[in-house]
Amino acid sequence: MRKFGLIGKKLGHSFSKKYFSTKFEREGIKEASYDLYELEEIGRLKDLFQREPELAGLNVTIPYKQDVIPLLDELDEAATKIGAVNTIKIESGLTKGFNTDYIGFKATLEEFYPAADRGKALVLGTGGAAKAVFAALADMQVSYSVVSRSPVGDELRYEQITPKLLQVFNLIINTTPLGMAPNVDTFPVLPYTALTNKHYAYDLVYNPEQTLFLEKCASAGAKTMNGLPMLFAQAEAAWKIWNS
């Protein structure tokens, strides 16, 4: 039996187990299982490896996409560049980190955000998922600014996002967990009424499918997209890595 799974601190929001279990059944993949492994701290990862010697691959979610890096034997070139890992391949007792968030985000953004409409992006958050977003935007030659609760350098504070400033950016990307189940009543504080039908809003959160962030953006006329397509794309990329 080849085992796969997801590590994170709180995994009640995750669709990964259902996604992979359905995939295994639909595609007739036998001798494979996918489980959720909640880790109170990332240091427990080594205990997990000892407890589950049949593990062949892991996905990584909040808040361990950066913290897991020192515990791995090797990093893929893209994961090194991005500075975050969301996929681990385990082979012959060695672990290698990859970033399929980048692959999934870039592929879905290219479809959602037409080249003819591309302007500047406003990225909310600076965590592990945000790092993959930064890399994808750079590769797509989309300039961006970052909003943080604790800004450094030229990052912006949420209080600085005025209606006038929002007109400079026609793409807004939420990489924070605000709005994620069970905290569905939370959302980034922005002047949503300043948005128009020229704006695009992408929320990496996928549970619920319609967050308050997306609801507020849509009410102002913006085109919206949630994180489900990205989840599917990055999951398939992870499966390819585990089986390469």
Q: Count the neighbouring beta carbons within 10 Å of the beta carbon of residue 219.
A: 12
Q: Which residues are catalytic?
A: 65
Q: Structure tokens of 210?
A: 């319609």
Strands 200-203 and 171-174: parallel
Six-digit token string for 222: 């913006």
Strand, coil or helix: 157: coil
What residues contact 57, with CB distance under 8 A and at least 6 apart? 4, 87, 88, 89, 90, 238, 241, 242
Spatial separation of the C-alpha atoms in residues 185 and 71, rounded to whole Å: 35
One-letter identity of residue 154: D
Peptide bond just before 53 cis, omega within 30 deg? no
Q: Do 137 and 123 meet the contact criterion of CB atoms below 8 Å apart?
A: yes
- Give yes or no for a contact between 136 and 113, defined as CB atoms under 8 angstroms apart: no
Q: Residue 198 has which token pair? A: 């020229």
- Token pair, residue 70, equals 């020192």
